[in-house]
Amino acid sequence: MKSTVVLLGSPRHGGNSETLAEALLKGAGDRAGEVFRFRLAEMPISGCLDCRRCWSAGKPCILKDPMSEIYNALGKSDLILFVSPLYWYTWSGQIKPVLDRFLPFSAGKPLFDLKGKKAILVSTAGDTDPSCFDGLRFSFRTSCKLLGLENHSEILAHGIYKRNEIDGTEWLLQAARIGENLS
Ligand SMILES: Cc1cc2nc3c(=O)[nH]c(=O)nc-3n(C[C@H](O)[C@H](O)[C@H](O)COP(=O)(O)O)c2cc1C
Protein backbone atom coordinates (compact mmCIF):
# COMPACT_ATOMS: atom_id res chain seq x y z
CA MET A 1 0.00 0.00 0.00
CA LYS A 2 1.07 3.59 -0.55
CA SER A 3 -1.03 4.63 2.40
CA THR A 4 -3.84 3.57 4.68
CA VAL A 5 -6.67 5.58 6.21
CA VAL A 6 -7.93 4.37 9.57
CA LEU A 7 -11.35 5.69 10.60
CA LEU A 8 -11.61 5.06 14.34
CA GLY A 9 -15.27 5.15 15.37
CA SER A 10 -15.04 4.41 19.09
CA PRO A 11 -15.00 7.09 21.76
CA ARG A 12 -12.75 4.80 23.81
CA HIS A 13 -9.00 5.36 23.51
CA GLY A 14 -7.43 1.94 23.14
CA GLY A 15 -10.87 0.32 23.11
CA ASN A 16 -11.65 -3.11 21.70
CA SER A 17 -12.19 -2.10 18.09
CA GLU A 18 -9.10 0.12 18.07
CA THR A 19 -6.98 -2.68 19.59
CA LEU A 20 -8.19 -4.99 16.83
CA ALA A 21 -7.32 -2.44 14.15
CA GLU A 22 -3.88 -1.90 15.67
CA ALA A 23 -3.24 -5.66 15.62
CA LEU A 24 -3.94 -5.63 11.89
CA LEU A 25 -1.66 -2.65 11.33
CA LYS A 26 1.10 -4.25 13.39
CA GLY A 27 0.79 -7.42 11.30
CA ALA A 28 0.90 -5.31 8.14
CA GLY A 29 3.99 -3.33 9.15
CA ASP A 30 5.37 -1.54 6.09
CA ARG A 31 2.72 -3.18 3.89
CA ALA A 32 0.24 -0.56 5.14
CA GLY A 33 2.43 2.28 3.84
CA GLU A 34 1.91 5.64 5.51
CA VAL A 35 -0.91 5.33 8.04
CA PHE A 36 -3.37 8.17 8.65
CA ARG A 37 -5.38 7.59 11.83
CA PHE A 38 -8.50 9.64 12.48
CA ARG A 39 -10.00 9.52 15.97
CA LEU A 40 -13.46 10.58 14.91
CA ALA A 41 -14.88 11.11 18.40
CA GLU A 42 -12.53 14.07 18.70
CA MET A 43 -13.26 15.61 15.31
CA PRO A 44 -16.26 17.93 14.91
CA ILE A 45 -17.53 16.53 11.63
CA SER A 46 -20.98 17.52 10.45
CA GLY A 47 -23.41 15.18 8.75
CA CYS A 48 -24.26 15.61 5.06
CA LEU A 49 -26.55 18.57 4.29
CA ASP A 50 -27.91 16.96 1.13
CA CYS A 51 -27.30 20.31 -0.62
CA ARG A 52 -26.18 18.45 -3.76
CA ARG A 53 -23.26 20.81 -4.21
CA CYS A 54 -20.61 18.07 -4.10
CA TRP A 55 -17.58 19.15 -6.17
CA SER A 56 -19.20 22.52 -7.00
CA ALA A 57 -16.20 24.38 -5.53
CA GLY A 58 -13.57 22.00 -6.88
CA LYS A 59 -13.61 20.05 -3.62
CA PRO A 60 -15.68 17.06 -2.51
CA CYS A 61 -17.84 19.12 -0.14
CA ILE A 62 -18.68 22.76 0.53
CA LEU A 63 -18.68 22.29 4.32
CA LYS A 64 -15.62 23.59 6.13
CA ASP A 65 -14.75 21.13 8.85
CA PRO A 66 -12.08 18.49 9.58
CA MET A 67 -13.64 16.14 7.03
CA SER A 68 -11.35 17.95 4.55
CA GLU A 69 -8.34 16.23 6.21
CA ILE A 70 -10.05 12.88 5.69
CA TYR A 71 -10.87 13.65 2.05
CA ASN A 72 -7.19 14.52 1.45
CA ALA A 73 -6.01 11.29 3.04
CA LEU A 74 -8.61 9.23 1.18
CA GLY A 75 -7.44 10.64 -2.14
CA LYS A 76 -3.91 9.35 -1.48
CA SER A 77 -4.74 6.05 0.16
CA ASP A 78 -5.30 2.61 -1.30
CA LEU A 79 -6.67 0.97 1.86
CA ILE A 80 -9.41 2.19 4.22
CA LEU A 81 -10.06 0.63 7.61
CA PHE A 82 -13.60 1.21 8.86
CA VAL A 83 -13.32 0.67 12.61
CA SER A 84 -16.49 0.86 14.69
CA PRO A 85 -17.91 -0.67 17.83
CA LEU A 86 -21.37 -2.07 17.16
CA TYR A 87 -23.88 0.47 18.46
CA TRP A 88 -27.55 -0.44 18.21
CA TYR A 89 -26.64 -3.12 15.68
CA THR A 90 -25.01 -0.68 13.29
CA TRP A 91 -22.22 1.95 13.01
CA SER A 92 -21.37 4.14 15.98
CA GLY A 93 -22.60 7.73 15.91
CA GLN A 94 -18.97 8.84 15.68
CA ILE A 95 -18.31 7.22 12.29
CA LYS A 96 -21.76 7.59 10.70
CA PRO A 97 -21.44 11.29 9.72
CA VAL A 98 -18.15 10.47 8.00
CA LEU A 99 -19.86 7.75 5.99
CA ASP A 100 -22.62 10.18 5.05
CA ARG A 101 -19.93 12.56 3.82
CA PHE A 102 -18.80 9.90 1.34
CA LEU A 103 -21.71 11.10 -0.84
CA PRO A 104 -19.37 13.08 -3.19
CA PHE A 105 -17.82 9.78 -4.26
CA SER A 106 -21.11 8.60 -5.67
CA ALA A 107 -22.61 11.93 -6.74
CA GLY A 108 -21.95 14.64 -9.30
CA LYS A 109 -18.75 14.41 -11.33
CA PRO A 110 -16.09 13.29 -8.85
CA LEU A 111 -12.59 14.70 -9.38
CA PHE A 112 -11.45 11.56 -7.63
CA ASP A 113 -13.28 8.60 -6.22
CA LEU A 114 -12.70 5.49 -4.16
CA LYS A 115 -12.97 2.93 -6.94
CA GLY A 116 -10.54 0.04 -6.63
CA LYS A 117 -9.35 0.96 -3.15
CA LYS A 118 -9.40 -1.83 -0.59
CA ALA A 119 -11.74 -1.66 2.41
CA ILE A 120 -11.63 -3.58 5.68
CA LEU A 121 -14.39 -3.61 8.29
CA VAL A 122 -13.32 -3.99 11.92
CA SER A 123 -15.97 -4.19 14.63
CA THR A 124 -16.56 -5.54 18.12
CA ALA A 125 -19.87 -6.20 19.89
CA GLY A 126 -21.02 -7.30 23.30
CA ASP A 127 -23.68 -9.64 21.93
CA THR A 128 -22.66 -13.29 21.93
CA ASP A 129 -24.61 -14.13 18.75
CA PRO A 130 -22.54 -13.46 15.59
CA SER A 131 -25.72 -12.49 13.73
CA CYS A 132 -25.62 -9.21 15.68
CA PHE A 133 -23.40 -7.96 12.86
CA ASP A 134 -25.92 -8.67 10.08
CA GLY A 135 -27.03 -5.03 9.76
CA LEU A 136 -23.52 -3.60 9.86
CA ARG A 137 -22.23 -6.20 7.41
CA PHE A 138 -25.06 -5.44 4.98
CA SER A 139 -24.37 -1.70 5.19
CA PHE A 140 -20.64 -2.24 4.63
CA ARG A 141 -21.06 -4.64 1.71
CA THR A 142 -23.66 -2.62 -0.16
CA SER A 143 -21.75 0.62 0.43
CA CYS A 144 -18.54 -0.96 -0.89
CA LYS A 145 -20.41 -2.03 -4.04
CA LEU A 146 -21.86 1.42 -4.55
CA LEU A 147 -18.51 3.15 -4.06
CA GLY A 148 -16.52 0.64 -6.09
CA LEU A 149 -14.46 -0.31 -3.04
CA GLU A 150 -13.00 -3.80 -2.90
CA ASN A 151 -14.28 -5.51 0.24
CA HIS A 152 -10.95 -7.00 1.31
CA SER A 153 -12.06 -8.46 4.64
CA GLU A 154 -14.33 -8.20 7.64
CA ILE A 155 -13.18 -8.77 11.22
CA LEU A 156 -16.27 -9.00 13.39
CA ALA A 157 -15.62 -9.95 17.01
CA HIS A 158 -18.74 -10.85 18.98
CA GLY A 159 -18.97 -11.43 22.74
CA ILE A 160 -16.60 -8.54 23.44
CA TYR A 161 -18.25 -6.08 25.78
CA LYS A 162 -16.03 -4.75 28.53
CA ARG A 163 -12.92 -2.66 28.00
CA ASN A 164 -9.87 -4.83 27.11
CA GLU A 165 -12.04 -7.92 26.62
CA ILE A 166 -10.47 -8.27 23.16
CA ASP A 167 -7.06 -8.93 24.73
CA GLY A 168 -5.76 -12.48 24.32
CA THR A 169 -8.51 -13.50 21.88
CA GLU A 170 -8.29 -15.28 18.53
CA TRP A 171 -9.66 -12.16 16.88
CA LEU A 172 -6.33 -10.38 17.39
CA LEU A 173 -4.49 -13.22 15.67
CA GLN A 174 -6.99 -13.14 12.80
CA ALA A 175 -6.44 -9.38 12.44
CA ALA A 176 -2.65 -9.77 12.49
CA ARG A 177 -2.82 -12.49 9.82
CA ILE A 178 -4.93 -10.29 7.56
CA GLY A 179 -2.35 -7.54 8.00
CA GLU A 180 0.53 -9.91 7.22
CA ASN A 181 -1.18 -11.00 3.99
CA LEU A 182 -1.94 -7.51 2.69
CA SER A 183 -0.51 -6.79 -0.73
C1 LIG B 1 -24.14 3.24 22.93
C2 LIG B 1 -23.76 1.79 22.86
C3 LIG B 1 -24.52 0.95 22.06
C4 LIG B 1 -24.16 -0.39 21.97
N5 LIG B 1 -24.93 -1.20 21.18
C6 LIG B 1 -24.60 -2.50 21.04
C7 LIG B 1 -25.37 -3.36 20.21
O8 LIG B 1 -26.33 -2.95 19.56
N9 LIG B 1 -25.03 -4.68 20.13
C10 LIG B 1 -23.95 -5.17 20.82
O11 LIG B 1 -23.69 -6.37 20.71
N12 LIG B 1 -23.18 -4.37 21.60
C13 LIG B 1 -23.48 -3.06 21.73
N14 LIG B 1 -22.69 -2.24 22.51
C15 LIG B 1 -21.45 -2.78 23.11
C16 LIG B 1 -20.20 -2.45 22.29
O17 LIG B 1 -20.40 -2.77 20.94
C18 LIG B 1 -18.99 -3.22 22.84
O19 LIG B 1 -18.77 -2.90 24.19
C20 LIG B 1 -17.73 -2.99 22.02
O21 LIG B 1 -16.77 -3.99 22.29
C22 LIG B 1 -17.11 -1.63 22.32
O23 LIG B 1 -15.99 -1.45 21.49
P24 LIG B 1 -14.92 -0.28 21.77
O25 LIG B 1 -14.18 -0.65 23.04
O26 LIG B 1 -14.05 -0.27 20.59
O27 LIG B 1 -15.70 0.98 21.93
C28 LIG B 1 -23.02 -0.90 22.66
C29 LIG B 1 -22.28 -0.02 23.45
C30 LIG B 1 -22.65 1.29 23.56
C31 LIG B 1 -21.79 2.23 24.42
Which element (helix H / strand E) includes 146?
Answer: helix 134-147
CA–centroid distance, residue 180 to ligand 1 (Å): 28
pLDDT of residue 158: 98
Q: Is the CB of 66 under 6 A from ligand 1?
A: no
CA–centroid distance, residue 158 to ligand 1 (Å): 10
Exposure class string for 155-171: b at 16+ Cβ within 10 A, else e:
bbbbebeeeebbeebeb
Domain boundaries, the chain: 3-180
From 81, 87, 133, the mutation candidate for ligand 1 (largest count of ligand atoms within 8 A of CB) is: 87
Q: Is the CB of 12 under 6 A from ligand 1?
A: yes
Which atom of ligand 1 has the smallest separation from the CA of 18?
26
The shares of helix, strand and coil residues in the chain, as percent rounded to the nearest 5, are 35, 20, 45
Give the pLDDT confidence of 38-93 residue by residue, as tens digits.
999 999 999 999 999 999 999 999 999 999 999 999 999 999 999 999 999 999 99
CA–centroid distance, residue 109 to ligand 1 (Å): 37
pLDDT of residue 107: 87
In the CATH scheme, what is the code of domain 3-180?
3.40.50.360
Sign for the pseudo-dihedral over CA of 158, 159, 164, 170: negative
Which atom of ligand 1 has the smallest separation from the CA of 17?
26
CA dist., res. 168 & res. 14, Å (int): 15
Q: Whose CA is nearest to atom 19 of ligand 1?
A: 161
pLDDT of residue 1: 84
User: Residues near 162 by Cβ (< 8 Å), separated by ≥ 6?
Assistant: none
SS3 (DSSP) at 81: strand
